[in-house]
Each structure stands twice: as structure tokens, then as C-alpha cells.
Structure 1
Amino acid sequence: MIAAFDLLEALPVAVYTTDAEGCITFYNEAAAELWGQRPERGTKWCGSWRLYWPDGRPMPHDECPIATTLTEGRPVQGIEAIIERRDGSRVPFIPYPTLLRDESGRVTGAINLLVNIADRKHAEIQSARLAAIVASSDDAIISKTLNGQITSWNAGATRIFGYEPDEIIGQSITRIIPPELRQEEEVILAKLQRGERIDHYDTTRVTKDGRRVNISLTVSPLRDETGKVIGASKVARDVTERKQTEELQRLLLDELNHRVKNTLATIQAIASQSLRRAASPGDFLESFNGRVQALARAHNLLVQRKMKGAELTDLVREQVVLGAADCARVSVSGPFLILDARVAVQLALVLHELGTNARKYGALSASAPAGQLSISWKMQTDGERELLLEWSESGVPNLSAPTSRGFGATLIERSLEANGGEAAIRYGADGVVCQIRLPLPEESKQSAALHAAPATRKNEPRLDREALPAALRGRRILIVEDEPLVAMEIESLLASTGCEIIGPAATIQTAKRFIADATIDAALIDANLAGHPVHELAAALTQKNIPFAFATGYGREALPLGFRDAPVLTKPFSRSQLLVVIEALLKELAAHVA
């Protein structure tokens, strides 16, 4: 008997014995550790402080499994219970009570083996928690074998990819992989077989209805009890919204880059044109500052409307009615009208030129104290939408028409032509009347192809300053540019070298007519004409073997597909950069002819 108790004492499992009345006669060290105390010999039924059923209800000691076994004469095994120690900690366990009998079969007591199932319970809870996470996750959680066969598929996978579990489990994972990306699966399987984990990487998968979704994928190896890799688990997160946000951010930055460069090119042209036509340094400073301030006021209005446009009344007020004295001499009338950003800036410069002329020589000048200015407009919707604006000055004595065409008149004409409009200026008996017709496009549609990330510019050929004028003299250069001031500057620079200018063309239609009908040696094309791509023009020039370059504030990747290797003149540009590009185009023409 002593040897038997020594054996029980050495067991790592909790064991205790009782007599026929349920009083404890022996317990081992493992039992004392499980109970959290050392009960006195003779303690009845159990050595624990308190017992509970699995659902949390208290279990009286005289109803515990060993008590039932002794009182009813039958073993009660396999049920679960919970021990509470005096320190408040609880331990789940399973009792295995067995009756002890003497040689005659009489019950002499019982032996109870208590199996601590805390670790198992913890594992079950963890497993249940993981199962709940997998089931409720918005991410796709998929498991597969090493040959790519899908073995599990959660609700997140159904939401992202569209397949129900019974449609896809047992199928190959390649069912959701685009054909051109299936080599990814081979790389993944090779890494998994080496026990490697594939951390987050972005890729594309195909849904049940054929859509492509952007996902961030993590792949981990699954191992058996021996550590052998037997499969993989994949967690795929739909990052389409994130990708769209990143793309929008990139487009906005590219658009900002384009707008800034176009604005700098416009200011550069204003400076050059103002200087070229100024009678004195003071005259230049006044005209240049006035035009730049007009540009700044127009941009202030655009910023107020988040660059979506400007209201015409505000535009007139900012460019014409500059002080309290003007209010009594200027009348403004017309319907509420929002102009898009590009048209607003160009019309602002037109109004500034008219207003400056009125202050110097016309109805708002000191020499015309009785002068009056009326600005009115209306919308005409017969067919296309058109703005009809009339600028009418009166009370100007001794008015005479100018003998030469000034920069202001040229700017007004070019600005309106760039938008398909026109201006008719008439010098009456006592004032100037300017009638403006300006087509107004529907909400502009920017081409996604024109909003790409900037690319590294290619090396430009070096400028041969001595040979260049002779090389350009008499060459017919087509200019396609919708920013009037930039077009005027390009025209002036090329004309000064002896080039013959075709255009400038401010619209796709006008440019196509020039390409079809005119003799052209080379062309310079704005890569974005009022939001419209210029791939048609590039294709037409290529078909006629006319070399061309793009002038743009975007990067090379924003150029039309198939033409991204063409020469690029990045706005703003200098005279030498412009001439280098034109020289390179003419060399290309000469090589082609030879």
C-alpha cells in the first residue's frame, strides 16, 4: 500500500482518495497545487475552497462528482467543473472519480483524478476568438494547399471577390489571379516551401464578375505538428479606395505643378511682351505690375471657389471697379454666371487691358470727367452656350482711333480666339465700344492621360548660337497653344529668328485644319488644350512626317500614349531652350528628307 501511495505522490496529475463516507484520506502534491491549499485529512468530498459548474453556478461540495459517485454507487466521469482558490483564481478541470472495493466487493472509498484543462480551455477560447475574427473580418482570409487548392474562405473573401465558399473551396487560387500575374503564385509557393513569410505587397486580383481590385497581400506558411509546411494562409485587404486616394493626390499634385508652371510661363510672357512694347523703364514697370496684379486678383477669386471657377460679377469688380470713385462712373449688369478657371483667368486679363485703357485714355481718365462705363452681358443658349458681353464707354471728348495696334488689343484678340470667341472694337464719337462673344464649354473634362507623374527629361542638344538663326530663317513653324500670352511669346521669339509662324492655333479643330492645309516644317504643341488630349494632332503630324515637340507643364508620362519619346519643352522655358528644341526638330526633318 505504501508503494501505491508513493506512486500516486509522484504523479504530475492531481489525485486524491476518500473513505466510504467521502472523507479525504490522501492527496498528492499536484492536487494541493491545483486546489491552492492543503486541506486537513478528513475534509469531506473535495479539497477545494469552492466549486462551480461550467456555466458559473455554484456547485455544492456534496453534489460534486465524487460525492455522487459514492452516494449513488456509480462513477460520474467526463463532466467539467471549475475550482476557485482562496486567492480568487479559477481553474477548469475534469474529474474522473472511481469507486474502491475490497475483496468482497464492498465499497471502501473512492479515488479521484483531476485533469487541469486550463491550457485546453485557453486554446479553445483562442481558437474561438480567432474563428470569430476570421468570420467577421473585412479582410479576405484564405487558406490553401501547397499546390494552390483553396481550403478555407471567409466572409471577407466573399465580400471582396464575390465567390461564396461552396463555389470556390476546392478550386485553384489562380481563379482570382489575373493571367499576367500568375507567375506571382509560383514565386509565392517557392518562398512558402522554404518557410518564408511574404509581408504586405500590393497586387491585383480578379473578382467573380471580372472586375479587378487592388489588394495588399500577406502570405504565411501553415505547418503540421512536425513543423513541415503543408499550406499557406493569405490575408488580402482591399486597398482600392487607398489607391484611388493616392491617384487623386498624385493627380492634384500634377495639376498643381501644371498650373504653377503655366502661370510662371504666363508671367514670363507678360514680362517679355510688356518690355518689348514699353516706351520707357517706368512704362514697363507700370504695365508689368498691373498685368501681374490682374493675374493675382483672378487667382484670388479662383481660390475662394476652390479653383472651380469665378463669378463674372466678381471678376468685373476685381479688374475694373478698383476704387470708390469708380462706383459712380461704372454700371454693371448681367446674370449670375460662373466661368471655369481657365476662361476666368483669360477674361480677367482682357478686362484688365480694357480697364487700363479706359483709365489712361477713355471714360475713366482724368481728361473725361463726365465719362461713363457700362458693362453688361447676357447668355445666349441658341445651340451652344455663349457669353455676349458689351463694354461701352461714353463721355470721352476728342476720341480718335489708334494708329497702331498695341499689346492690349492683341492680347484681347488672342485671349478670345483661344477660347473660340471674338471681339469687335468700335471707336465711336465719344467712346469705345467692345463687343465680346465667348463660347462657354460644358463642365471641362480633364483627360486622365494628362495627369501623370513627372518623368525625367531627356538630354537636350546643345545650342549652336552662330548657326541657329540661319538654320531657322524661313522655316514654317506651327504653334499650337491655348494660353494667349504664351503663344504670343513663342511667336515673337521664333519670328525674331526669321521663322514663319503658322497659327497660333488654340483649339484641336484649328490645329487640324493647319496640319491638313498648310506647309509645315516643324510644330510645337501644347500637351493639353483646354483639358483635351492632343493625340489626334500628334498622329496627324506623324502621318505627314512633320517633326514636333510638346510644350507642357506636365511630365513626359502625361503625353499621349505612343508619343512619350517625343521632344518636350517644359514650361516655363527660356529663349535658348525654345530654339534648341526647334533646331533639333529641323535636324530631324533634314535627316528624314535625306
Structure 2
Amino acid sequence: MSTTLASPRGSACDVLGASQRFIDLLPVAIYVCDRDGCIVRHNRSAAALWGREPSPQDRFCGSLALRAPDGTPMAHAHCPMANALRTGRAVSDAEVLIDRPDGETLFVLVNIEPIRDASGAVVGAVNCFRDITEQRRMHERQELLLREMDHRIKNLFALASGIVGLSARGAATPQETVEAARRRLEALARAHTLTLPGTGLSGEETRSATLAALVDTIVSPFVDPRAEEPRIVVDGPEVILGGGGLTSFALLLHEFATNAAKYGALSSFGGRVIISWRTDADTLHLAWREVGGPAPSGGEAAGEGFGSVLARSAVRSQLGGSLAREWRPDGLVVTLTARLDRLA
């Protein structure tokens, strides 16, 4: 529903009269444009969201720059206010991105009502908008957590299936199969617990605060004590993990082991994994090398699944390092770096 002016002047700013103090008290950002898009009135909340006072040359919006929700640049002449003035149609709950002079980007929700004179002609429009950046970020985090949960559940089912098959291999009796599967599933549960934020090791398991003990815990479901040669070789100096560093590394190693059990060296009877690391002044360098597994498929070598994207993001944002994968003829090699101060 459009706003109609009672004033015979038909000026857009007359919709609020001279009450600048009143609109400054409003908890929502608001501004008024005339029929040509010139900003004739705005309140302090609008200037605060824009991060600047609009200049006389600004039209349709006082922001430094605008973008569509997908990040595509949006010219001021094609923004929601410009469209409302051109078409005379109200805009309800439209999302736009505002780029501020300080480099911050805000998601805002805009609602625009055209202003008409007594004859019904559009003489301006009022835009009420508010910052929804935090709500958007919370929604994105929630979606990421749901995808991560779905990814983990699927991986656990796949691992459980693989562990049952691994336990049946070489078992002489059904009872041996049951016992081997039970031990491995219990080890898998302990390893999975380490990947949960806010959990860690206490009591007798405090030793797992070292990287070597964490690796042993994560890969223990795939160790066969009856094998003549170890399937998993671990080599590296003592590195203490704690807090977020422990959780982040547990997630990463769990992801590597899961992929190796589903597609790589641990899915093959003769496959092996060599995990080694070293440190320099301020950085941990870790290598996860698989040998003797099946040849990688084209899809595995060419693309990244959600787990790979999640792992790369965790290394970069939480550990201040890098992650790289190389598909060699004899198997996958993962190289990882992390800042030592982020681990403890």
C-alpha cells in the first residue's frame, strides 16, 4: 500500500514533515528519496549501517556499494529503491549486501513504500531497512553443521560396515569375527568421541594429548595385531595437543582414516599407511602416505567432497596452515602444515 501525501506541495520529504528528531529515534534505519532518487531525508541508524553520511551526489541509496545476495555487484540505479520509484510497486523483505567504507559487508533486509501525491503520481519512496548479518551467519553455520553431521553419520555407517568385513577376514570362527568386530567398533567409538567439540581425554587416557597417541587412537580400529607387518606406521617427535588443536586434529585424522578405509589403502588387504611428521621453529609438517591400495578412480582424483572441503577449511582457519593432496601411482599422499601455537 502506497503512502499518499496530504500536502499540496507533493514533496517526498513532507511524508515525515520536519520531524528529523522523531525518525532519529526510530530503531530501524530509514531514508526517503524524491522522485529522481535523491536522498532528501535519512536518520542516524541509516548512516550507521551505511558507515557514512550520504553525499549530495548519491542517488537511490547512501551506501558505498551494493551487491545482490549472491555477491554480484548491483548498480545503485538498479537497486530496490530505484525499482520502486520506477514501477511504483512496494518492495517487501528484499535482501541486499551493503559494502561499507571500513571494508565490512552487511546483509540488510529492505522494505520500501512508494509515496504518491493527491493525483496518485509517485513523488518518492521511503526505505526501512535493518541489519540481518548475524542471522544470516547463524543460518549458514547451522547449515554447515547439519551437512557435517550428515557427512559424519554416513561415514560412520560405512566404517562400521568396513570394520565388520575386515574382522571377518582371517577369522577362524564366527566368535573370533564377533570379538574382532566388537574391539574395532569400540575403538571407533573412542576415536569418534575425540572429534566432538568440548570433549577430550581425561584420567587414564591423558596420554592421547600427544599427537602420536591421538594417531594411535584414530587408526586403532584398522590395526590387525595378527598381521606379520604393521598396516599403519607412525613416526614423529612428541607434539602436545590441547583444546581446539586436539579436536581439529582428531577431525582431520578421522577424515583421512575414513577415506582410506572406504577408498584407499585401508580398504585393501595389503594396503599400508605411513604417518610421519616433523617440526621446525613454529610449524608442524605432517605427511599421510598410502601405499598398496586400489588405484584411485577418476572422480576421487579430480574433485573434492564435502569432507575434503571441511578439512581444508579447518586447517586454514583453525590451525593457520595448509592442506594438499597428491594422487600418486602407488597411493594418496596428504601433506599438512599447522602452526604449533594453534595446537597447544
Residues 153, 187 of structure 1: alpha-carbon distance in 2 compared, 3 angstrom cutoff: closer
Q: Cα distance, 1:211 vs. partner? A: 1.9
Aligned with 1:308 (options 185, 198, 211):
198
CA distance, structure 2, for counterparts of residue 198 and residue 248 of structure 1: 28
Taking the TM superposition and a 5 Å limit, the aligned residue runs for 1:93-112 are none
Does the C-alpha gap of structure 1 residues 209 and 131 become closer, same or farther in structure 2, counting only changes over 3 Å? Answer: same
1:91-114 residue CA offsets vs partner (Å, 9 max, x unmatched): xxxxxxxxxxxxxxxxxxxxxxxx
Deviation at 1:405, TM superposition (A): 5.7
Distance 1:197 1:252, change over 3 A: same
Take 2:47 and 2:40, find their aligned partners in 1: how far apart are those partners?
14
The correspondence for 1:144, drawn from 10, 14, 33, is: 33
Q: Percent of counterpart pairs with the same letter?
A: 20
Residues 422-459 of structure 1 show CA distances to partners (whole Å, capped at 9, x for unaligned) of: xxxxxxxxxxxxxxx65345644999xx9xxxxxxxxx
Say whether residues 1:258 and 2:151 are aligned partners. yes
Alpha-carbon offset, residue 283 of structure 1: 0.7
Partner of 2:217: 347
Distance 1:211 1:446, change over 3 A: farther
Question: Are 2:64 and 1:176 aligned?
Answer: yes
1:219 aligns with 2:112: yes
Label 1:139 to 1:506 Cα distance change in 2 as closer, same or farther (>3 A).
farther
Aligned-partner residue type, residue 147 of structure 1: D
Match of 1:491 among 265, 289, 314: 265
Could you give the per-residue CA deviations for residues 33-52 of structure 1, whole angstroms, max 9, x where no partner exists?
Answer: xxxxxxxxxxxxxxxxxxxx
What is the match of residue 288 of structure 1? 181
| SS in structure 2 of the partner of residue 439 of structure 1 | coil
What's the counterpart of residue 6 of structure 2? none
Q: Is contact 1:223-1:231 (8 Å) kept?
A: yes
Give the superposition deviation at 1:314. Answer: 5.2
The one of 44, 50, 55 equivalent to 1:155 is: 44
Structure 1 residue 269 and structure 2 residue 158: aligned? no
CA distance in 2, matches of 1:236, 1:136: 15
Letter in 2 for 1:232: A
How far apart are the structure 1 equivalents of 2:185 and 2:295? 35
170 and 410 in structure 1: CA distance in 2 versus 1, 3 angstrom threshold: same
CA distance in 1, matches of 2:210, 2:117: 65
TM-score, length-normalised on structure 2? 0.62
Give the equivalent residue in structure 1 for 2:342.
none
Q: Which residue of 2 aligns with 1:439?
A: 239
Counterpart residue number, 1:482: 256
Q: If you compute each CA radius of gyration, which structure gives the higher value, 1 or 2?
A: 1
Pair 1:405–1:242, CA change in 2 (3 A): closer
Name the residue aligned to 1:406: 226
Cα 1:267/1:159, change in 2 over 3 Å: same
Amino acid at match of 2:65: I
Residue of structure 1 in register with 2:9 after alignment? none
The whole-number CA distance in structure 2 between the counterparts of 1:231 and 1:409 is 81
Q: Taking structure 1 as the reference length, what is the TM-score of the superposition?
A: 0.39
Q: Which sits farther off after the overlay, 205-214 or 178-187?
A: 178-187
* Greater relative contact order structure (CA < 8 Å, 6+ sep): 2
- Which residue does 2:337 correspond to in 1? none
Deviations 1:369-423, CA, capped at 9 Å, x for gaps:
xxxxxxxxxxxxxxxxxxxxxxxxxxxxxxxxxxx96259846x45xx3xx55xx
Show structure 1 runs of 5+ residues with no match: 1-125, 316-335, 355-403, 422-436, 451-480, 550-594
CA RMSD of aligned residues (A): 5.0
Deviation at 1:215?
0.8
User: For structure 2, which runs of at least 5 residues remain unmatched after alignment?
Assistant: 1-14, 278-284, 302-306, 333-344
Describe the shift of the 1:219–1:229 C-alpha distance in structure 2 as closer, same or farther (beyond 3 A): same
CA contact (8 A) 2:273 2:290 kept: yes
Counterpart residue number, 1:559: none
1:236 aligns with: 129
Give the aligned residue type for 1:483.
Answer: A
Q: 1:494 to 1:174 in 2, by over 3 A?
A: farther
Match of 2:315 among 521, 526, 532: 532
Is 1:249 the equivalent of 2:142?
Answer: yes
Q: Which amino acid aligns with 2:159?
A: T
In structure 2, the partner of 1:203 is 96
Shift of 1:242: 0.7
The aligned amino acid for 2:134 is: E
The Cα offsets for residues 140-192 of structure 1, whole Å up to 9 and x where unpaired, read as: 1111134332111111112222224xx53553326433375334742632443
Structure 2 distance, partners of 1:340, 1:195, is 66
Q: In the superposition, relative to structure 1, how do residues 251 and 439 fare at CA in structure 2: closer, same or farther (>3 Å)?
A: same
Contact 1:269–1:485 under 8 Å retained in 2: no
Give the Å deviation of 1:308.
2.9
Distance 1:276 1:409 in 2: 16
Q: Can you list the C-alpha shifts for 1:325-368, whole angstroms capped at 9, x where unaligned?
A: xxxxxxxxxxx677499975852774x999xxxxxxxxxxxxxx
CA distance, structure 1, for counterparts of residue 48 and residue 66 of structure 2 = 18
Q: State the alpha-carbon separation in 1 of the partners of residues 154 and 238 from structure 2.
A: 26
- SS for the counterpart of 1:232 is strand
Q: Is the 8 A contact 2:95 2:109 kept in 1?
A: yes
